[in-house]
Structure 1
Amino acid sequence: MKSAVLTTLAVAALGVMAAPVIDDVTVLNFALTLEHLENAFYSGALAKYDEKAFTDAGLPSFSRARFVEVGQHEQAHVDFLTKALGDKATKPCTYSFPYTDPKSFAALSQTLEGVGVTAYTGAAQYITSKKYLTVAASVLATEARHASWVAGAVNKVNPWSGALDVPLSPNDVFSLAAPFIKSCPSSNPPLPFKAFPTLEFPTGSKPGQKVILKFDKGSSTGDLFVAFFTGLSQEFAPITKDNSVTIPQDLVGTVYAVVSSNATVATDDNTVAGPAILTFNFDTKGMVIQ
C-alpha cells in the first residue's frame, strides 16, 4: 500500500477563488497546471539520474529510456495546451517533489500518472466544446497508458484497478497536486478550486484492517465516515471516536479515500478531509497480495 500526497497545501500560491466558475478555459488551464507539474517532475528527475542510477536501484534496464518518452509526452501536452489557450495560458510554477532515488521517483510517477487519469476523467463533465473534449480524451488515454506501464512494467504491481476508473472532482485533484507546488507567477489566472485538509492512513494499511486515521476535523461535530472511491462506486465505513476505521475487505487496486460527514454519498460539499491514495496490489484472481 502506498499512502501519498499528504502535506500542507500551498493554496495561496495557486490563487484559489471562492466562487467556482468552471468553463472550458478553466478546465484547460487546470489541465495545463497538471501537465506543467508532470513535465517538471520528469525533466528534473531524468536530469538527475542516469541509466546506471536506474539499474543500480533495481529498476529494469529499459525503464529510464521509456521515462524519457513519457517526459516527452508531457512536454507535448504542455505545448499543445499552451498553444490552445494562447495569452490565457497559465505559466509553470516552482515545484518540489519528495523522491530521493530512481525507485522513489518511479513510485511517485505511478501516483502522479494515476492522479492525471482521475483528473481528466472527472473534468470531462465540465467541457462543453466537442473539440476540446476530444483532445482531453486523447490526453487521458495517453496518461492511462503511462500509469499502466509504470505500475506493471516498472513497479511490478497491478496495472489497473478494475473495469472502471475513478473520476475525482477538480477540488480533490487540486488537493492532491498542490503540495508539490511551492510558488507560482502572480500573473497566472486563478483556479476556482478549494483544497481539503489532508487525510493520512498508516503505512501498510490493508483491506479488512482497523486503522487509526490522521486528519483535522475542523468544525465538524457530527458523525464522520470514510468514503472509499473505487471505480464509479463509493463504499462507506464509520469513523469511531478514536479516529479509527475498518477498511472494507473487498477493496483492490488504487482507491481514493475522503472523510465525509455523509454516510451515503461523498461530495465536495460534505468532504472534511482527503483524498488519501491507497494502493492494494492484487493477483490475477483478484486477491490482495499481503
Structure 2
Amino acid sequence: MRSTPFPLFLASLCVASPLPKVERRQLVNDVGILNYALTLEHLESAFYRGALETYNAKAFEEAGFSDDVRARFVEIAQHEAAHVTVLTTAVEALGGSAVEPCQYNFPHTDPKSFAVLSQVLEGVGTSAYTGAANLISNGLYLTAATSILATEARHASWVASAVNKLTPWGSLGAFEVPLIPAAVYTLAAPFIKLGSCPSTNLPLPLKAFPPLIYTSDLVPGHTATVEQNPATSSATHISFFTGLDKIFVPITDGQILVPEGLSGAVYAVATKSGEEATGDTIVAGPVILLFEKDSKGHLIN
C-alpha cells in the first residue's frame, strides 16, 4: 500500500464527538448544503493561496518539479476562489448568510508534501460533492455543484498523475466514492484552527466522528490490527468504501482481514453494522487509504 503521513494525521486529530444523525435532517435545505460546500471551498482556497505564497518557482524547481507544475497550481487556486464566489452568491440568492473563512493549519513543509496533501484534499472534495448531490433540491444549484464536482475531479486526477506520478483515477477508477457530509467534516475539521471561525458564521450541524486508528499496515489480503478504544468498543465491522461499493469486514479480537482488490483512494470506517455505513451506524473514521498501482495493476510499495 502506498501511504502518506496525512491520513494518519487526520485520524489522530479527529475529536471524539456524539454520533451525528442522518444528514438529510441536518443539512435541512439548500442553504445548509451550499454553506457546507462553501466551508470546504474556503478551506481549499486558503490551502492553495497559502502554499503558493510560501513556495516560489525556485522552491518547486528545487523539489524536482517541472516549470509548469506551479503554474497549474496557480490555476487551481483561481478555480477554488471562483468556487467560493459562486457558492457565496448562491447562498445569498437563497436568502441565507454565507459562511466566511476560518483560520487553517496545513501540515506541509515543502512543495512535495504540499502536492501530496493537494491530492488528498482534491480527492476528499470530489467525494464530498458526489455524496451531497442527492441532497440538493434546486436544479440550478445542483447543476452548479456538479460542474464544480467535475473540476475537482480534474484537479485530483492531474495532481495524482502529472505531479505525484501515481494512479490518476479514484477508487476502482470507474466510480467515485460518495461520502456523507459528517464523514467529510471529520476529514476536514483537523485543518480548521479551533475557535478561529467568525462568530457570525452559522455553525454547521455536523460533528466529527472519533478517529479510527490502525496499528499495523493495511495490505490487501493480509490481516491488520485495529486499535481498541472507547470510540470503537461498539464496532463490529470495518467498512471499506471503494467506488460505489462498501465492503464490510468483521472485527475479530481486534483484527480484520483487508479485502483483496482494493485500488486507489479507499475510505475506511468502523461501524456497528455489517450492512450499513451511515451517520447512525458509523462509530469512528473515516481514514484515507491509498492503494496505488502501476499501469499493470501491481501495487506500488
Is the CA contact 1:216–1:273 (under 8 Å) kept in the aligned structure 2?
A: no
- Does residue 65 (structure 1) correspond to residue 78 (structure 2)? The answer is no
Shift in Å, 1:219: 7.3
Is the CA contact 1:2–1:204 (under 8 Å) kept in the aligned structure 2?
A: no
Instruction: Give 1:187's aligned residue.
Output: 200
Instruction: Give 2:40's aligned residue.
Output: 34
Instruction: Give 1:233's aligned residue.
Output: 245
Q: How does 1:169-208 map to 2 (within 5 A)?
A: 169-182=180-193, 183-201=196-214, 205-208=218-221
The one-letter code sitting in structure 2 at the alignment partner of 1:197 is P
Flag structure 1 segments of 5+ consecutive residues without an equivalent.
none
Q: How does 1:93-112 map to 2 (within 5 A)?
A: 93-112=102-121
Shift in Å, 1:145: 0.2
Q: Given the superposition, is the C-alpha separation of residues 287 and 48 from structure 1 closer, same or farther in structure 2, using an over 3 Å criterion?
A: same
Shift in Å, 1:61: 2.6
Q: Which moved more, 1:207-216 or 1:57-66?
A: 207-216
Q: How does 1:24-173 map to 2 (within 5 A)?
A: 24-86=30-92, 88-160=97-169, 161=171, 162-173=173-184
What is the total number of aligned residue pairs between the two structures? 284
TM-score scaled by length of structure 1: 0.92
Residues of 2 paired with 1:11 and 1:187: CA distance? 25
The one-letter code sitting in structure 1 at the alignment partner of 2:3 is K
Shift in Å, 1:240: 2.5
The one-letter code sitting in structure 2 at the alignment partner of 1:2 is S
Residues of 1 paired with 2:99 and 2:228: CA distance? 31
Instruction: Give 1:2's aligned residue.
Output: 3
Residues of 2 paired with 1:232 and 1:46: CA distance? 34
Is the CA contact 1:217–1:272 (under 8 Å) kept in the aligned structure 2?
A: no
Is the CA contact 2:15–2:211 (under 8 Å) kept in the aligned structure 1?
A: no
Flag structure 2 segments of 5+ consecutive residues without an equivalent.
none
Residues of 1 paired with 2:203 and 2:178: CA distance? 23
Q: Given the superposition, is the C-alpha separation of residues 215 and 72 from structure 1 closer, same or farther in structure 2, using an over 3 Å criterion?
A: farther
Residues of 2 paired with 1:57 and 1:117: CA distance? 27
Instruction: Give 1:289's aligned residue.
Output: 300
- Does residue 248 (structure 1) correspond to residue 253 (structure 2)? The answer is no
Q: Percent identity?
A: 53
- Does residue 279 (structure 1) correspond to residue 290 (structure 2)? The answer is yes
Residues of 2 paired with 1:219 and 1:101: CA distance? 35
SS where residue 289 of structure 2 aligns? strand
Shift in Å, 1:29: 0.3
Is the CA contact 1:228–1:258 (under 8 Å) kept in the aligned structure 2?
A: yes
Residues of 2 paired with 1:40 and 1:255: CA distance? 25
Q: Which moved more, 1:137-146 or 1:55-64?
A: 55-64
Instruction: Give 1:210's aligned residue.
Output: 223
Q: Given the superposition, is the C-alpha separation of residues 60 and 208 from structure 1 closer, same or farther in structure 2, using an over 3 Å criterion?
A: farther
Shift in Å, 1:202: 5.1
Shift in Å, 1:21: 4.0
Is the CA contact 1:197–1:215 (under 8 Å) kept in the aligned structure 2?
A: no
**What CA deviation, in whole Å up to 9, does each residue of 1:242-276 have, x standing for no partner?**
x2222111111110000011112211111110000
Q: Given the superposition, is the C-alpha separation of residues 74 and 267 from structure 1 closer, same or farther in structure 2, using an over 3 Å criterion?
A: same
Q: Given the superposition, is the C-alpha separation of residues 219 and 56 from structure 1 closer, same or farther in structure 2, using an over 3 Å criterion?
A: closer
The one-letter code sitting in structure 1 at the alignment partner of 2:91 is L
Superposed CA RMSD:
2.1
Is the CA contact 1:198–1:215 (under 8 Å) kept in the aligned structure 2?
A: no
**What CA deviation, in whole Å up to 9, does each residue of 1:178-229 have, x standing for no partner?**
00001211110111112100113457532122222236443744x6211000
- Does residue 269 (structure 1) correspond to residue 280 (structure 2)? The answer is yes
**What CA deviation, in whole Å up to 9, does each residue of 1:75-106 have, x standing for no partner?**
11111111222261000001000111111000
